[in-house]
Structure 1
Amino acid sequence: MTHKVMTTQTLAWRQVGLVAAVQLVVLTALSGRYGFHRDELYFVAAGKHLDWGYTDQPPITPSLARLSTSIFGETPFGLRIVATLAAVATIIVIAYVARELGGNSTVQWVSSAVAALGPFVVAVSHMLSTTTIDMLIWSLLGLFVLRLLRTGDGRWWVAIGAVIGIGMANKWLILLLVFGLTVGVLTFGPRAVLRTWWLAAGVGVALVIVAPIMVWQAANEFPMLTVASGISEDDGGENRILFVPMQLVYLTPVGAAVWITGLVRLWRDPSLRWARALAASYPVVCVVLLVVGGKPYYSIPLLLLLIPAGVQPVLNWLRNGLRRSVVGVLAATSVTLALLTGLPALPPSSLNGPVLAINKEQGEQVGWPELTSNVARVWTQIPAERRATSVIFTSNYGQAGAIEHFGPRHTLPQPHSGHMSYWDWGPPSDSMTGAVLVVGGQPTQSSLLAGCRVVEENDNGIGLQNEEQGTPITLCDRTTAPWSVIWPQLRRFY
């Protein structure tokens, strides 16, 4: 029988609320700087094609993009309100995890602060991404599982099932945590939580939520699996090499010391024996990611769950004045670096060099209006009488999303692309027999287009060396076959 371990701690709303308020103010104040990230432009476009699934993701993040921009406007600020709220909710949940593990008010607010100030967390909290939402979902799942393990109350299986279902509707990586926790409970207990009909109820809730998403994926031949295998094939080796080092820097070295201490404490502290499954889940998840070549940041939400277990031992160790001073300097340096590299605090022209080397996503939020302007300038080189039957085709969804968003001010037509779900949204009509303006290299080197010549190379105007700087803008006279014929050959999964 599961022992019901009681906690007498209450949530320190005043202290945790202050951390959340500071995070809310900082993220809100900076959310309108720079511009959309390429993924955000894609989410905005996907939100205009609401469906139960997309080539590379389930529906939640595009749906939230649609909701946020519909209410607050199709601007970076309007889109990122939902991201900011998700980030604030995540650190509050981490405080609840600290409370669940017996942490007092100090442990709770310090856990929240350490979680909020990690470079990776700062970066993904600033903009809307599937990982922004995933951090919240993983944190909720960890909290509910800990509550189940601590109390033995089987009714928590219903909440766990709901979170897993919602997690599957955002990103299938939630299955990593589910697998890790399952192995942990089966190996270290308390296994009594598995002997209840509430477990079946939780499974049923998860299946009901995820059913329409799986039906969509099955009907479309599970494109998400194709995308995942492509990522593993292309980047798997690099991901494996970087995996361990990145675990130590994503939350700063100081944050790494805290979560490592938490991992050790969960193994050794007899009073937390009931939570050992959480500690076991981390190495399990790491092994899976190393085997499949998953990206190092996939495990970061799990590190947030380990932080609360490590805060009290670290605070005890810091009672020594010299240690406290040294760690304080390291922490201040790490936090400053996190804020400068994760948030749009610097002028865009200052990003070249160390900032982009640490966080290339900063550069992906700059230059999209300029790209669209450059495309528009080339578009005007097409004779006016041919533009009505001419097409803009882009090599990736960021370019397509930028032209879709900024193009109307230049009277550009709706762009097309073979990348990810843009391919699903269809080819141009076969009546579009005019010129083809291609942004990027694909497919100008193929036999699908004729009479191609590079007219211009994209320049963002500040020399920022991001992914689109120097992108060729090419004009082609025509396609070599109707769009409906060549469209299958233009599909790109990654």
Structure 2
Amino acid sequence: MTDATKTQGRQAFTAEKQPPFALAGVGSIAVVSAIALLASAGRYGFFGDELYFISAGRRLAFSYADQGPLLPAIARLMDLLAPESLVAQRIPAMLVTVAAVVISAQIAREFGGGRNAQLLTAAAYATSPFLLVQGTQLATNTIDTALWVLISWLLVRWVRTRRDALLLWASLVTALDMQVKWLIPFFWFAIAVGVLLYGPRELLRRPALWAGVALVVVVTLPSLIWQVAHDWPQLRLGGVVAAEQASVGGRYIWLPLAIASAGLLGGLLLIYGIVALFRWEPLRPYRFVAPLPLLLTVAFIATNGRPYYAAGCYAVIMAAGAVRWTAKTSRTRTIVNATIIVASVALVAFSMPWRPESAIEPAKSETDAGLSIGLYGRFGWPELAEATAAAYRALPEADRAHTVIIAESYWQAAALDVLGPADLPAVYSPSRGFGYFGTPPDAATTVLWVGNSEAELRPLFTSVTLLTHAGAPLGYPGASRDVPLWLGTHPITPWSQSWPTLQHL
């Protein structure tokens, strides 16, 4: 085929008229999704990470040990607008999740899908137990997933239109996503492999693409400098995540959980979409997307990543599956669609946090707690703050002037930092990102230590005394698991020397 023939074919393809956008239908799905998210926004309490984002936002930096600066900045903004408001903190998550529902339908439209395909795609996204339910709390994966969906739409639209401005927009969104977490390079690497295998290879020759790469590097540079200065903690965190995953099944449960997180309708469209992208000729221009979920699966299983790491690619694959499935219509397919959608709605409704707190039973094991930490991590923080405040106020007044609080985990420290009363002293923790927020002063001769065991604290102080126990959600709801509150006096080694050895991710 000559270059002229290729150009003519591309022009014919890009000039093809798009189907109209199913505004009423997709809009209705988005509105229902928004109502469901808003109705659940005030349920239970802050998730541990949400408290941590607020704490990090009060200490704004170019980067953090375990994330980029975007989530702390968002949390800080919402905390300024509505201090300690649970609903306010979750509004950004709700907005980007609903936007992703709409954009997923737009991807189906770019593929040439009509009204039915767009509605099916939006319904699949909105009934995914992970994709929708993650909109109930502010989390890195919530923002990261939505940005992947947006990048996918911009990329697919570029293939249809060849408008290079779309590549610059995709680069800008990528640069923004790098301020959340560093997973998006996996997406682009998989896309590059797909383009080399199936085209359009001209994508890799576009100056706009490489200008966008430069933009991403420039925007990410301050974070990279921070990471270099602190010995790359965000990269070292990968080993910590891998160990955590291994403790709950790791690689053996990755694929089942990844597919299950897409939901019933979404899971079926995922599988069907991969096949359609590889084999269906009308989707041939987009075949480079087909290896995307497969390569991501291999990468994240190999690195023992979390099952939801690849969720950002679900929308584009589900859209392809929906377009292929709705290319033919029949009474049987209509019945099948309706049945699966009803079942999917029931499944996601069951997954939403509707149950009253009193109806939630404690986890039966540490493994169950780890798998359901998104639920159990929302309980017990006010009780922990109240118990810690009471223990501090019970100290002799002379000791309080030289007292600080140190918590075993960054969640505990964030809860005390955000929910604790104003008269509490400074809160520190050697755990994860909180360990980089500051070192206890050497003048702190009395420490109210939250968590850990006596054996772990004895080497640090000349005297260690158990004061009381406080409830905290270490994998369990409410105050059903006790956390010890210790009083440590007269540190053996100055904090400026011992703190670096205590810090851990």
**Structure 1 residue 442: Cα displacement:** 8.8
Select 2:397's aligned residue among 381, 384, 398: 384
Structure 2 equivalent of residue 489 of structure 1: 501
C-alpha distance after superposition, 1:229-287 (max 9, x if no partner):
22224434732111111122102233211111111111111111111111111111111
**Structure 1 residue 317: Cα displacement:** 8.0
Report the CA distance shift for 1:336/1:102 in structure 2 as closer, same or farther (over 3 A). same
Structure 2 equivalent of residue 417 of structure 1: 429
The yes-or-no answer on 1:451 pairing with 2:463 is yes
Secondary structure of 1:289 counterpart = helix
In structure 1, distance between residues paired with 2:95 and 2:102: 11
Report the CA distance shift for 1:251/1:221 in structure 2 as closer, same or farther (over 3 A). same
**Structure 1 residue 329: Cα displacement:** 5.2
Contact 1:73–1:79, Cα closer than 8 Å, also in 2: no
Secondary structure of 1:458 counterpart = strand
Select 1:430's aligned residue among 442, 455, 465: 442
Structure 1 equivalent of residue 381 of structure 2: 368
Structure 1 segment 321-336 matched on structure 2, within 5 A: 321=332, 328=338, 331-336=341-346
Percent identical residues? 30
In structure 2, distance between residues paired with 1:106 and 1:328: 12
In structure 2, distance between residues paired with 1:160 and 1:468: 47
Report the CA distance shift for 1:113/1:170 in structure 2 as closer, same or farther (over 3 A). same
In structure 1, distance between residues paired with 2:462 and 2:328: 69
Select 1:215's aligned residue among 191, 207, 225: 225
In structure 2, distance between residues paired with 1:56 and 1:390: 28
The yes-or-no answer on 1:344 pairing with 2:375 is no
Structure 2 equivalent of residue 279 of structure 1: 290
Report the CA distance shift for 1:330/1:375 in structure 2 as closer, same or farther (over 3 A). farther
C-alpha distance after superposition, 1:377-408 (max 9, x if no partner):
32233222211211211011111111111112
Structure 1 equivalent of residue 97 of structure 2: 87
Read off the aligned partner of 2:184 and give its amino acid letter: I
Structure 1 equivalent of residue 3 of structure 2: none
Structure 2 equivalent of residue 259 of structure 1: 270
Structure 2 equivalent of residue 240 of structure 1: 251
**Structure 1 residue 464: Cα displacement:** 4.7
The yes-or-no answer on 1:26 pairing with 2:36 is yes
Read off the aligned partner of 2:36 and give its amino acid letter: V
Read off the aligned partner of 1:299 and give its amino acid letter: A
**Structure 1 residue 467: Cα displacement:** 9.9
Contact 1:134–1:170, Cα closer than 8 Å, also in 2: yes
Structure 2 equivalent of residue 44 of structure 1: 54
Structure 1: runs of 5 or more not aligned: none
Structure 2: runs of 5 or more not aligned: 1-5
In structure 1, distance between residues paired with 2:343 and 2:391: 46
**Structure 1 residue 454: Cα displacement:** 3.2
Read off the aligned partner of 2:357 and give its amino acid letter: P
Secondary structure of 1:477 counterpart = strand
Comparing 45-54 and 357-366, the one that deviates more:
357-366
Structure 1 segment 54-65 matched on structure 2, within 5 A: 54-65=64-75
Report the CA distance shift for 1:334/1:18 in structure 2 as closer, same or farther (over 3 A). closer
In structure 1, distance between residues paired with 2:246 and 2:294: 18
**Structure 1 residue 41: Cα displacement:** 0.3
Task: Supply the RMSD in Å over aligned alpha carbons.
Answer: 2.6
Comparing 67-76 and 140-149, the one that deviates more:
67-76
Report the CA distance shift for 1:416/1:468 in structure 2 as closer, same or farther (over 3 A). farther
**Structure 1 residue 370: Cα displacement:** 0.8
The yes-or-no answer on 1:304 pairing with 2:305 is no
- State the TM-score, normalizing by the size of structure 2: 0.90
Select 1:476's aligned residue among 463, 488, 494: 488
Contact 2:450–2:483, Cα closer than 8 Å, also in 1: no
**Structure 1 residue 459: Cα displacement:** 2.8
Secondary structure of 2:466 counterpart = strand
Comparing 70-79 and 269-278, the one that deviates more:
70-79
Secondary structure of 1:293 counterpart = coil
Select 1:170's aligned residue among 166, 174, 180: 180
Structure 2 equivalent of residue 99 of structure 1: 109
Comparing 135-144 and 421-430, the one that deviates more:
421-430
Structure 2 equivalent of residue 408 of structure 1: 421
In structure 2, distance between residues paired with 1:478 and 1:116: 56
Select 1:268's aligned residue among 279, 284, 289: 279
Contact 2:408–2:449, Cα closer than 8 Å, also in 1: no
Structure 2 equivalent of residue 71 of structure 1: 81
Secondary structure of 1:408 counterpart = coil
In structure 2, distance between residues paired with 1:338 and 1:354: 21
- State the TM-score, normalizing by the size of structure 1: 0.92
Report the CA distance shift for 1:340/1:159 in structure 2 as closer, same or farther (over 3 A). same
Read off the aligned partner of 2:354 and give its amino acid letter: A
Structure 1 segment 222-233 matched on structure 2, within 5 A: 222-233=232-243
Contact 1:391–1:428, Cα closer than 8 Å, also in 2: yes
How many equivalent pairs are there? 489
Contact 2:377–2:477, Cα closer than 8 Å, also in 1: no
Report the CA distance shift for 1:333/1:14 in structure 2 as closer, same or farther (over 3 A). closer
Report the CA distance shift for 1:467/1:326 in structure 2 as closer, same or farther (over 3 A). farther
Structure 2 equivalent of residue 182 of structure 1: 192
Structure 1 segment 112-131 matched on structure 2, within 5 A: 112-131=122-141
In structure 2, distance between residues paired with 1:8 and 1:359: 43
C-alpha distance after superposition, 1:127-170 (max 9, x if no partner):
00111111111011111111222233333321222122111111
Secondary structure of 2:25 counterpart = helix
C-alpha distance after superposition, 1:72-95 (max 9, x if no partner):
433111111111111111111111
Read off the aligned partner of 1:249 and give its amino acid letter: A
Secondary structure of 2:131 counterpart = helix
**Structure 1 residue 186: Cα displacement:** 0.8
Report the CA distance shift for 1:327/1:450 in structure 2 as closer, same or farther (over 3 A). farther
Structure 1 equivalent of residue 299 of structure 2: 288
